[in-house]
Structure 1
Amino acid sequence: MLKLKDDDWKKVVFSDESSVWLTGAAGRVFVWRKPGEEFKNECLAPTFKSGRETLMVWECITYEGVGALHMCDSNITGAYYKSILEQNLQATVSVLGVGNDYKFVPDGAPGHRARLVKDYLREKKVELLPHPAQSPDLNPIENLWALVKQELFKRPASSVDDLKEQIQEIWYDIEPKTVQDLYHSMPKRLLQVKDNRGGHTKY
């Protein structure tokens, strides 16, 4: 990653996934977390456990702007992740005019490392650009989700369907320049992560 220059990042497609818990009275309290973060203090909320519903979201971005947003309807196994890529990755690259020589950054979840996923990406001649584990600062999607989260807190969802609609509306309203500014920050992000030995940065 350190060898990539500013213009090189324009050919990188980032992906990520998050889950939202819709809980509490009338379903108006939600908790936003990454997969595997169920028990982190910052991801817990003082709500009722009954009636909890979970929504998993997969998304990707390119230098040209936000890409596809996929509402997952099952656990992300290798087979399901492959279907997500088939439906969303190639469509995003085509619609946004990225070209075929892009590099793809998966988020490192177990299902993404399945052999059939690797075989699919190899068949499509997609070059992978892995990033260090536990370094969310190197994925600019995290910054975009912070924006999504801010908007969601302003208008609590009343149901999972309502939450889906709001997430899609907020996501697709993100301006391309917002995404491009994050891409331009990547060289500095890498240097800061290296200086902090993989620790958190200001990003």
Structure 2
Amino acid sequence: MAEFQDEKLLLSKKNIKACLSFARKHLDDPQDFWENTLWTDETKTELFGRSVSHDVWRKSNTAFQKKNIIPTVKYGGGSVMVWGCFAASGPGRLAVINGTMNSAVYQKILKENVRPSVCDLKLKRTWVLQQGNDPKHTSKSTSEWLKKNKMKTLEWPSQSPDLNPIEMLWHDLKKVVPARKPSNVAELQQLCKDEWAKIPPQRCNRLIASYGKRLIAVVAAKGVPTSY
């Protein structure tokens, strides 16, 4: 959970109030509702696991020996932004974001990935799309696109990592991809797709099965960060 600590520390009083309001509002929603929600988000992965901390066991005065140095790449080494989705029945599609993610790019990703994922995951006709509160998600053009394409969205509070179970899958992805040691951005992109597709449906199901407990924890904490 440490990877998300910085994001949680940025929560304002307004964000905390919104998270608490959401949790209270949905406490009594039936489990079937959450099972037919398509959860989505974007995240960044970096070469050589630069966003992940490493521990090196070594003897005194050997810090700069070659075997004790973790390789890095000058000027950052490259990174990949991805959009992903999942439901209780398993992982959906994962798309690589090329260039700046604006409303037009976001709508293209939705067009190419949402309905195929809904079909593959066998969601019911009453399915709901969960998305973040970034301007590209809530812009006028995106709102009109969603309405035109008859995609019902879940009203979502800003800065609410505790409420989105996809955060746990990002955590999984950022552990397994660096372990496979991609050597360039192209490999990093492919490994992200490969490992996302390999997420066990049981892992997804457990995350959604416990969603009610997640809401209870948020209410108990009065909207401040929890262990989720």
Q: Percent identity?
A: 31
Alignment deviations for residues 46-91 of structure 1 (CA, whole Å, 9 cap, x no partner): 9665254231100001121100100011211111111110000011
Higher strand share: 1
Superposition deviation, residue 161 in structure 1:
0.9
Instruction: Give 5+ residue unaligned stretches, structure 2.
Output: 1-25, 53-70
Q: 1:85 is matched with which residue?
A: 110
Choose which of 39, 42, 49 in structure 2 pairs with 1:14.
39
Superposition deviation, residue 5 in structure 1:
2.0
Q: In the alignment, is the contact (CA less than 8 A) between 2:162 and 2:225 conserved in 1?
A: yes
Q: Which runs of 4+ in 1 moved over 3 A?
A: 46-49
- Residue 92 of structure 2 is aligned to residue 67 of structure 1: yes
Task: Describe how 1:1-203 pairs up with structure 2 within 5 A.
Answer: 1-22=26-47, 28-31=48-51, 50=75, 52-203=77-228
Q: Which amino acid aligns with 1:58?
A: W
TM-score (norm 2): 0.75
Superposition deviation, residue 120 in structure 1:
1.4
Q: Which amino acid aligns with 1:178?
A: R
Alignment deviations for residues 162-190 of structure 1 (CA, whole Å, 9 cap, x no partner): 11121111111111111000001111111
Instruction: Provide the C-alpha distance between the structure 2 equivalents of 1:108 and 1:54, rounded to a whole number of angstroms.
Output: 23
Higher helix share: 2
Q: In the alignment, is the contact (CA less than 8 A) between 1:29 and 1:47 conserved in 2?
A: no
Q: In the alignment, is the contact (CA less than 8 A) between 2:133 and 2:157 conserved in 1?
A: no
Q: In the alignment, is the contact (CA less than 8 A) between 2:45 and 2:79 conserved in 1?
A: yes
Instruction: Give 5+ residue unaligned stretches, structure 1.
Output: 23-27, 33-45
Q: Which has the larger radius of gyration?
A: 2
- RMSD of equivalent CA atoms: 1.9
Report how many aligned residue pairs link the two structures.
Answer: 185
TM-score (norm 1): 0.84
Instruction: Provide the C-alpha distance between the structure 1 equivalents of 2:89 and 2:49, rounded to a whole number of angstroms.
Output: 33
Instruction: Provide the C-alpha distance between the structure 1 equivalents of 2:94 and 2:28, rounded to a whole number of angstroms.
Output: 29
Q: In the alignment, is the contact (CA less than 8 A) between 1:135 and 1:198 conserved in 2?
A: no
Q: Which amino acid aligns with 2:129?
A: F
Q: Summarize the Cα distance change of 1:85–1:192 in structure 2 as closer, same or farther, 3 Å threshold.
A: same
Instruction: Provide the C-alpha distance between the structure 2 equivalents of 1:2 and 1:184, rounded to a whole number of angstroms.
Output: 13
The structure showing larger relative contact order (alpha-carbon pairs under 8 Å, at least 6 residues apart) is 2
Q: In the alignment, is the contact (CA less than 8 A) between 1:131 and 1:138 conserved in 2?
A: no
Q: Summarize the Cα distance change of 1:166–1:187 in structure 2 as closer, same or farther, 3 Å threshold.
A: same
Q: In the alignment, is the contact (CA less than 8 A) between 1:59 and 1:67 conserved in 2?
A: yes
